[in-house]
Amino acid sequence: MGFVPNDPLFADQWYLRSGQNGRRSLPNSAHINVAFAWAQTITGQGAVIGVVDDGIDYLHPDLFANYRADLDVDLVDRDDSPLVEPGSNDGHGTAVA
């Protein structure tokens, strides 16, 4: 792989690399294979991504600068907060985002 991000957690993000399944048995077609996009100099600049999941920690340092409150809809408890439900330790929405 050519470019490797300066992110201390990148090594744990097996789903970003083709051919690595981590703890789950997933087909390679389920992997993002982001290294291929980086090799094509695709940056994602200007892209808007929607995440439909169990809530996100929009204060997370990797998300805060790009979080769009004007586009937020909470489909779980239908309030104005995108935060994960109190007591939830899943964190899946934040990981997906």
Same domain, 55 and 90: yes
Q: Which domain holds residue 31?
A: 1-46
Over residues 43-66, the mean pLDDT reads 83
Same domain, 6 and 31: yes
Same domain, 30 and 60: no
Same domain, 59 and 23: no
The three state secondary structure string of 36-73 is HHHHCCCCCCCCCCCCCCCCCCCCCCCCHHHCCHHHCC
Q: What is the pLDDT of residues 9-33, one digit of tens each?
A: 888 777 776 655 556 666 767 667 7
Give buried/exposed letters for 30-57 (b at 16+ CB in 10 A, else e).
ebeebeeebeeeeeeeeeeeeeebbbbb
CA distance 12 to 67: 23
Same domain, 32 and 67: no
Q: Give the global pTM.
A: 0.58
Q: How many distinct structural domains can be found in the chain?
A: 2
